[in-house]
Structures are given as C-alpha cells and as structure tokens.
Structure 1
Amino acid sequence: MDNGSNRTIDPSCREKPPLAIDIILDLDIFGVILYSILTFMAAVSVLVFIEECVYIYRKVPSNKKSVIIWVNGAAPVIGTMSCVGMWIPRATMFTDMTSACYFAIVVFKFLILMLEEVGGDEAFLRRAGKHKLKISTGPCCCCCLCLPHVAITRRSLFLLKLGSFQFALLKVVFTILSIVLWTNGTFDLADLEIPGAAIWINPFVGILTITALWPVAIMFMHLRTALRTLKIIPKYAMYQLVLVLSQLQSAIINILAMNGTIACVPPFSSPARGYMMSQQLLILEMFIITLVTRLLYRRLYDPLPEEEVDDNENTKMVSVPGSICVEN
C-alpha cells in the first residue's frame, strides 16, 4: 500500500530548468499575458533609463554624470537581467551574477555620488573639518554605541572609499572564479556540502557586502542633513530597497525553493520555479523603482550652498558632541 513517503514524483521535478523553447511552447493564455506584460515592463525600464541618460548627459555637470548614470542604472539592469532569466531559466545563475556585480559597483558609486553632491573630496574635507564621523551605524556596528567618533581626514575618507571599492572589485573577481569552477563542475548554488565551493564563496561574499555597506551608511548619516534639499533620503531609500529586493528577497525565495517549500510544477522543478518567481517579482519591482528614481534624479544640479557659520538647517552637516573645538 502506498503512503505519503512512497508517492510518485514527476520526473521533471528532478530535471534541469527547461529550455526557452519549451517554455514558449508550454505557455497558456495566462502565461502569454504574464510574460508579455513583464517583458514590456523590462523594455520600458530600459527606455526610461536611456532617456534619463540623455538628460543627464545634457543637463548635469561633468563630475556627476558618470556616478548618477551608474546609480540610475541599478534597477533597469537588474530588471533586464531578470527578464532574460525569466525567458531562459538555464541562464539564471549568470543573470543573477551580472546583476550582483553591477550592484556591487553601484554601492561604491553611491558613496562617490554623496561626495560629489557636496562638491567633491576637497569640498567635503573643507566643510567637514569641524565635524566627526559616527561609525556606530548599520549594518555592522549599529549596536556598538561605545565606539569612538572618528575625525574626518584624508586618511579616514580614503578608508571609507576603500571599504566600498573592495566589494566592487572582489565581487567581480569571485564571480569570475565561480564561473570557472562551474565549468569544472565544482560550483553549484544548490550544493551546500562542505567540499562544495558555494558554501565557502557565498558567505565570504556576504561579509564583503556588509563591509561595503558600512562606509556608505556612515557617509549617509553624516551628510543626510546637508543634502536633504537634494532628496538624498529618498535616494538612499531606493538604493537600500534595490539591495533588499535583489539580494535578500531572492535569497529567501531560493532557500524556500531548495527546501521544497515551493512546490514543483512541471516543467519547473522546485528550485527552477523559485528562481522563476524571483525573476518575475524583480521585473515588476525594478520597473516601479526605475520610475521613482527618474523623478528623484531628474532635477537641476546647482552647486550646494556653502555651509554657514550659524549652521543653517539646509546646509549643515551632522556633528557630534565634542567635535567642534571652542576657543576660550
């Protein structure tokens, strides 16, 4: 007599993700509508990004063009890669790696963007000379309130940049290494055994990610008041939202799929269906974020007013007790 443990499992639930032609041939009316709408959203995201690039090229000062284009491109690039992964499920690993590499560069570029909004490194050091950096902030040290405040110098600014740049560089290096190991049959995202490469590479990349996000958070906490008129808070919120949706959300869905929580639906196995759901959600979410970021960054880029002696609310930086020396 058969019981729950001996029930028949569809052979397709153990196979690789289907080919693109198999997906096209298997689509019903609902599938055709869904795939068409999501593909249209991804295409519109790219067109909006191209139009925004033209505007930035014409209206924005040269020192800000590159960083703004990089930051603006996060949502369209991730949405486009997700669309490719939706149509070609066997390429999901490569599309996810491409999105992750791009966002690793965006983390560094967002730090540079905040500095450029102030006027560059020299202007930042000049304006921030009487302040100190509060380093007890997330994602590393938000609970370590006893950490000392750090003076703003060229060395501390260099260390902040280095903390974010290392992620942009090493993420690309580890991605290339993962692809090389994958071609050798050594790297498999679903292989969580000790001898597997994924169990060693992915946690290390996670540590690099947290280390890179920390300098950006420190700089944002310091400049959020000075750059409030430039809508830095919603810009930072969009940057954080892209991070959560593209990394944390996808990781949760993929873990649920590998554990069998997401059911197998032929021709998709549980992991393949989890990846598919993740790609489809990202297309919709990145489409919305693309439209929001267009509103945030499409403005006149006038120089930031010089910080006044009376610490006017619109121009002051965040200072900490004891950071300003008072003469007797």
Structure 2
Amino acid sequence: MESGSNRTIDPSCMQKPPLAIDIILNLDIFGIILYSVLTFMATVSMLIFIEECIYIYKNVPANKKSVIIWVNGAAPVIGTMSCLGMWIPRATMFTDMTSACYFAIVVFKFLILMLEEVGGDEAFLKRAEKHKLKISTGPCCCCCLCLPHVTITRRTLFLLKLGSFQFALLKIVFTLLSIFLWTNGTFDLSDLTIEGAAIWINPFVGILTITALWPVAMTFMHLRVALRTVKIIPKYAMYQLVLVLSQLQTAIINILALKGTIACTPPFSATTRGYMMSQQLLILEMFIITLVTRLLYRRLYDPLPEEEPEVNEHTKMVSVDSSA
C-alpha cells in the first residue's frame, strides 16, 4: 500500500490554466450546457444594461445620467468579465482586476448618486443645516457608539467625497502596479510569502476599500429616510450585495483553492478550478442582480419634495439632537 507522500499527482494539477481552445475541446454535454447558459446570462445582462443606458439617456436629468449608468453597470460589467474569465482562464487575473477597478469607481459614484437624488451638493447642505452626521457606522466604527456626531459643512461633504474618491483612484494605481510587477515576475496571487508583492499590495487595498465604504455608509444612514421614496434602501442593498459577492465571496473561494480545499480536476488545477467556480457563480448572481437593478432604477425622476418635518415624513433626513 502506498503512503500518502508517494501518491501520483496528475501532471495537469501542477500546470498553468488551460488555453481557451483546450476548454472547448474537453467540454462534455453537461459542460456545453453549463457554458452556454452562463454565456447567455452574461450576454443578456449586457443587453439589458445597454437598453437601460438608452432609457436613462432619454428620460433622466443630465446631472444624474452619468452616475446612474455607472451604478447600473456594476453587475453586468462584473458578469461579462466573469464570462471572459470562464472561457479564458489565463486571463482571470486581468478580468478580476477590471471588475475590481470598475466597482471602485461605483463606490464613489453611489455616494454622488445619493447627493444628486436630494438635489446636489447645495440642496444637501441646505437640508443638513438642522442635522448632524452620525459617524459611528460600519464598516469602520459601527461599535464605537461614543463617537460624537459631526456638523455637516462643506468641509464635511468634501471629506466624504474624498474618502470614496481615493479608493477609485488608488485602486486603479495599484492595479497598474500589480500588472507591471506581474510582467516582471514579482507579482503572483498564489505567492503568499513575505517576499511576494501580493501579500503587501492586497491588504493595503483592503484598507482602502474599508476607508471608502465608510463615507458611503454614513451618507446612506443620513439620507435613508429622505430618499425612501426613490427606493434608496433596496438600491443600497443591491450595491452591498455586489460588493460582498464580487469581493468577499471571490476571496473566500480563492483562499480555499490556494489551501487545497478545492480538489484538482484535470485539466484544471485546484487554484484554477477555484477561479472557475468563482467566475461561474458571479455570472449567475450578477444576472439576477441586473434584473433587480433594472426594476429599481427604471422610474420617473421627479425632483425630491422640499423637507417638511411636521407634514411629509418621507422627506425627513435622519435628525440628531444638537445636544448629543
């Protein structure tokens, strides 16, 4: 009986991801159906997004067109990139980076979207004169209930925007840096040693992500009542769901693959199979989110009513006692 250390390992489990033509040639009936259905879903998602862009261009005020298109594009763009990564496994790192860069911009655009829904910066500041901003929110300070409430000024608004914009900018910078290091052979997602570049870049990008999500969460908590009539709560839920699925879910599956929890299935190594599972799940999930998002954003974009605290409860902002 052979010992565990003398087991024969299939050579394909130690190789690079297969080429696209190798995947096509090795597809069985189930694989053909699976790949066809997922490709169809990704295609339909992109077609729905294009149709939605046409609708937004024709029916939405100019100040909201760009941000709504950016936010609407999160799910279909990630789904399309995942489809490309599914068919071309060797491009997975680049498709994931493209999706991550796009979503980094969406984080900032969603903050701008909430401000535009109340009428822009000036309208936001006017509505905020009698209110304070609660900063003890996730993902940074949800447990720090003792933190003081902050008066909303132009400087506060600038810091909120800067907190999200830095992620959109620096994520692209670090993505380009990762690609440059990869061409030099010094960046490898599977290299988790202290000498590897990935172990330094990825945690820093994680910190930037948390820092960017905090201003968005604060703004949402402040405006969730005022923007209830424009369905801001389900919109925020969809934005959060895209974040969790595209970032956290993908990271968990990739870590499991790197640790060997996901078995090798020729012609896919364990790592490649983990990437493929992640891509296939994302296509299905982003397709569903695209359909839901289309329902949420396809509406008449009338101006938000003026705030009347005693009359119209739906236009109230979250108010904090000035003595707090």
Structure 1 partner of 2:154:
154
Contact 1:132 1:323 in 2 (8 A): no
**Cα shift readout 1:286-307 (whole Å, capped 9, x = no counterpart):** 0000000000000000000000
Contact 1:83 1:283 in 2 (8 A): yes
The separation in 1 between residues aligned to 2:130 and 2:311, in whole angstroms, is: 12
Q: Which runs of 4+ in 1 moved over 6 A?
A: none
Cα RMSD over matched residues?
0.9
> Partner amino acid for 2:144?
C
Residue 236 (1) aligns with residue 236 (2): yes
> Partner amino acid for 2:135?
I
Where 1:32 maps in the other structure, the secondary structure is helix
Structure 2 partner of 1:280:
280
**Cα shift readout 1:144-189 (whole Å, capped 9, x = no counterpart):** 0010000000000000000000000000000000000000000000
Shift of 1:5: 2.3
Where 1:291 maps in the other structure, the secondary structure is helix
Residue 70 (1) aligns with residue 74 (2): no
The separation in 2 between residues aligned to 1:221 and 1:283, in whole angstroms, is: 30
Shift of 1:48: 0.2
Where 1:129 maps in the other structure, the secondary structure is helix
Structure 2 partner of 1:51:
51
Structure 2 partner of 1:172:
172
The separation in 1 between residues aligned to 2:313 and 2:203, in whole angstroms, is: 42
Residue 221 (1) aligns with residue 221 (2): yes
Structure 2 partner of 1:182:
182
> Partner amino acid for 1:161?
K
Change (3 A) 1:229 1:6: same
Where 2:49 maps in the other structure, the secondary structure is helix
- For structure 1, the residue ranges without an aligned partner over 5 or more in a row are none
> Partner amino acid for 1:169?
L
Change (3 A) 1:215 1:234: same
**Cα shift readout 1:13-37 (whole Å, capped 9, x = no counterpart):** 0000000000000000000000000
The separation in 1 between residues aligned to 2:48 and 2:42, in whole angstroms, is: 10
Residue 34 (1) aligns with residue 59 (2): no
Contact 2:228 2:314 in 1 (8 A): yes
Contact 2:13 2:264 in 1 (8 A): yes
Structure 1 partner of 2:131:
131
Structure 2 partner of 1:264:
264
> Partner amino acid for 1:244?
V
Structure 2 partner of 1:208:
208
1:311-322 alignment to 2 at 5 Å? 312-322=312-322
> Partner amino acid for 1:91?
A
Contact 1:80 1:283 in 2 (8 A): yes
Contact 1:137 1:217 in 2 (8 A): yes
**Cα shift readout 1:247-275 (whole Å, capped 9, x = no counterpart):** 00000000000011000000000000000
**Cα shift readout 1:174-205 (whole Å, capped 9, x = no counterpart):** 00000000000000000011111000000000
**Cα shift readout 1:111-167 (whole Å, capped 9, x = no counterpart):** 000000000000000011110000000000000001000000000000000000000
> Partner amino acid for 1:146?
C
The separation in 1 between residues aligned to 2:126 and 2:182, in whole angstroms, is: 49
Structure 2 partner of 1:145:
145
Structure 1 partner of 2:95:
95
The separation in 1 between residues aligned to 2:319 and 2:9, in whole angstroms, is: 63
Relative to the length of structure 1, the TM-score reads 0.98
> Partner amino acid for 2:79?
G
The separation in 1 between residues aligned to 2:245 and 2:311, in whole angstroms, is: 37
> Partner amino acid for 1:215?
P
Relative to the length of structure 2, the TM-score reads 0.99
- For structure 2, the residue ranges without an aligned partner over 5 or more in a row are none
> Partner amino acid for 1:17?
P
Shift of 1:311: 5.9
Residue 122 (1) aligns with residue 122 (2): yes
Shift of 1:6: 1.5
Shift of 1:322: 2.0
Contact 1:131 1:323 in 2 (8 A): no
> Partner amino acid for 1:272?
T
> Partner amino acid for 2:166?
Q
